Amino acid sequence: MQKFVCVILAAGKGKRMKSGLVKVLHPLCGKPMLFYVLELARKLKTHSTVLVIGRQKEKVMEEFKRWEISFVNQDKLLGTGDALQRTEGLLKDISADVIVLAGDTPLLKETTIDKMMELHTEYHSDVTLLSTFLEEPAGYGRIVRRGKKVVRIIEDKDATIAEKSINEINAGVYIFNKDKLFRYLKEIKPNNVQKEYYLTDVVRLIQKEKGEIQIVTTDDWLETIGINDRWTLSQVSNIIKERMMKELMKSGVTFICPEETYIDYGIEVGKDTVIDPFVTITGETAIGENCKIYSHTSIDNSIIGNNVEIKENCLISKAQIADNVIIPAYSAVGNEKK
């Protein structure tokens, strides 16, 4: 298969979040939004990963300083095309095509990007992009076709009334032939409402010169969700939590009422453990096998042994609880072993 590098666009502030914190650092199940995109890039085993940052770049770099990634600064937010252009110097000596991901799409699946990589390699594509169909596509760029052929991608703010009726949307996930990408990036102009350099204009130029364009369409539109506001943040958080609980339940854990239980990303729970409603489990927590966690209990950054009962209304924080222990109701346990 063709060699790839991954570029993640994470420079924007996220005005619609109405927050002093840059959008990609907002937490989802205990991890920054951007964590999930970087974790996806890690699983893809690409040659390297480049993170384009801008607003609050110091905070982003501090958060992810232990990751094996390179940082590129986009000091002026002039659009996705400009963001990619900033990476040319870093990538010029690497013989690899470029996967482009957005830092605010944490639900993307590894299998979907694998499919894109395989198709891109098979057809020696100049660009391979991801699409899906939405009943209400407002806010997303539309894929304009003539038959099966892609004519162009039009941003929502620049679309005509007819184009706004198209429900096939551009998910903002691409794989580009590296040489073609940087060649066409030098040709695009900010001739749009936003006065920005659109990466979609590179697709238009490839199509104009009859380049090879491939599209992978996902039936699971949820994985293409881009987070722009607090409401969507909460929806995506619930989806991530549901996915984690599903995997835990398949491995032998019982959540009596999953909808009324909260867990952070990465918690570990052993088989035959039963967790009542209104339990919160956060941080780096591991719970052993055959435990019973009663309602209205909170467990944070703790290690719980096997065959442990934690009665209702307990607060467990930074604790290590041995096997076969019963914690009475209304107990507070922290920074100690039981």
The residues, ordered by sequence, that sit 6+ positions from 89 with a Cβ below 8 Å of its Cβ are none
Residue matched to tokens 């940052």: 53
Question: What is the residue-wise DSSP string for 160-225?
Answer: -HHHHT--EEEEEEEEE-HHHHHHHHTT----STT----THHHHHHHHHTT--EEEEE-S-GGGGP
Burial classification of residue 330, based on how many CB atoms lie within 10 Å of its CB (0-12 exposed, 13-18 middle, 19 or more buried)? exposed
Where do the H-state alpha helices sit in the chain? 33-44, 57-63, 80-85, 88-91, 110-122, 161-164, 178-185, 200-208, 230-250
- In the structure, how many helices (H) and strands (E) does the chain have? 9, 25
3 state SS of 334: strand
- The answer to whether 50 and 87 are in contact (CB under 8 A) is yes
Tokens of 91: 């990538």
**Is 16 one of the catalytic residues?**
yes
Calpha distance 288→324 (Å, rounded): 10
Going 99 to 103 to 105 to 106, the CA torsion angle's sign is positive
State the DSSP code for 7: E
Catalytic site residue from 16, 183, 230, 243: 16
Cα 192 from Cα 54, distance rounded (Å): 22
Distance CA(232)–CA(24), nearest Å, equals: 13
- Which of 298, 266, 302 lies closest to 279 in space, CA to CA? 298
Residues known to be catalytic: 16
